[in-house]
Amino acid sequence: MVNLELYRVFYYTAKAGSISKAAQQLHMAQPSASLAIKQLEDSLQTNLFHRTPRGVSLTSEGQTLFAYIEQAYELIMSAESKLDEVANLGGGEIRIAASVSVIQYVLMPHLERFHRQYPTINIKLSPGSTRACLKMLKEGKIDFCIVRLPIEDESLTTTSLLSIQDCFVAGEKYRHLSESPISLKELAAKYPLVVFPPHMTSRQAMDQLMASFGVTLTPKYEIGSLHVLIGLAQANLGLSYVVKEFVKKELEEGSLLEVKVKESIPRIDFGIVRMKHLAIPVAAQQFINEMLDEAGVKFA
């Protein structure tokens, strides 16, 4: 077994050229420091120092050992310094997973602000579906993810970040649908629908909502890209089901129109998901806290 304390005393003694000075620097008694040097010499079966009335100097064997110990000690000191830097948000990495839409419309403002405040912290983004995000989280590949809630898993903990509203949108051809409410049953029966594919969480939530009103969907187009859904709706190829907050710009400029429906579509929560019993890095914790502060939510 390597006794690192013996090597620490050796390092300080070699640097100071004196056992008594090394003992002072290490806040230990001189006899204890002398004993540590003797124990190290005995274990290595060699003399490491020449003893003189004025102090100590390294033997040739001691110089050989010191060349390695100095490198190791400096690496340890560098590691401690790096950890201190990370703890004080001077460095480190944050690993986040979310859908492309969430990255673009939810995370982007926070990323810009955080980077201005902590430019030396690296942020790694991993786009993916809810299922893929949770898989990466459980595999330890990310620190946290932002997905639709609720998530039923006892190994995870969730904190709501924002509430969003799903809605149907359409292009100019379907302007009349933005003026007079229509039932979901009539909408699904008479108009072409452009929606996400069945494996996506947002589509599954849509299907559940429709089923609660006795409606079964037969979409004309299924595509896993919000950008394409928006484009198809703008091109008058059908009605798209999207997050209203994600198409705010298009609604304001009039390139998309919100379809009015008679039924009430409930709001959906998006939240931060992390492993329940695992601590997250300081930088990731800070990023989460600042996001929640902006949203007026306290970290759970």
pLDDT in tens, 236-264: 999 999 999 999 999 999 999 999 999 99
Return d(Cα 203, Cα 267) in angstroms, integer. Answer: 15
The candidate with the shortest Cα–Cα distance to 12, out of 28, 78, 44, is 28
pLDDT exceeds cutoff 70 at 61: yes
- Is 164 in contact with 274 (CB distance < 8 Å)? no
pTM recorded for the entire structure: 0.69
Question: How sure is the predictor about 89, in pLDDT bands with cuts at 50, 70 and 90?
Answer: confident
Question: Taking 50 as the threshold, does the pLDDT of residue 298 lie above it?
Answer: no
% of the chain residues with pLDDT over 90: 76
Q: Give 297's pLDDT tier (boundaries 50, 70, 90).
A: low
Assigned fold of 166-266: D-Maltodextrin-Binding Protein; domain 2 (3.40.190)
Same fold, 93-163+269-295 and 166-266: yes
Contacts of 40 (CB under 8 A, 6+ apart): 3, 6, 7, 9, 10, 48
Neighbours of 195 (CB within 10 A): 23
CA dist 243 and 101 (Å) reads: 9
Distance CA 182, CA 262 (A): 6
Contact status, residue 56 vs residue 9, Cβ threshold 8 Å: no
Check if the beta carbon of residue 297 is closer than 8 Å to that of residue 289: no
Cα radius of gyration rounded to whole Å, the chain:
31
Domain boundaries, the chain: 4-87, 93-163+269-295, 166-266
Say which amino acid occupies 243.
Answer: V
Of the candidate ranges 153-157, 261-265, 282-286, the one whose mean pLDDT is the lowest: 282-286
Query: What's residue 8's pLDDT?
Result: 92
Domain at 4-87, CATH class: mainly alpha
CATH superfamily label, 93-163+269-295: Periplasmic binding protein-like II (3.40.190.10)
Question: Range with the lowest mean pLDDT among 74-78, 132-136, 150-154?
Answer: 74-78
| Confidence check: pLDDT of 299 > 50 | no
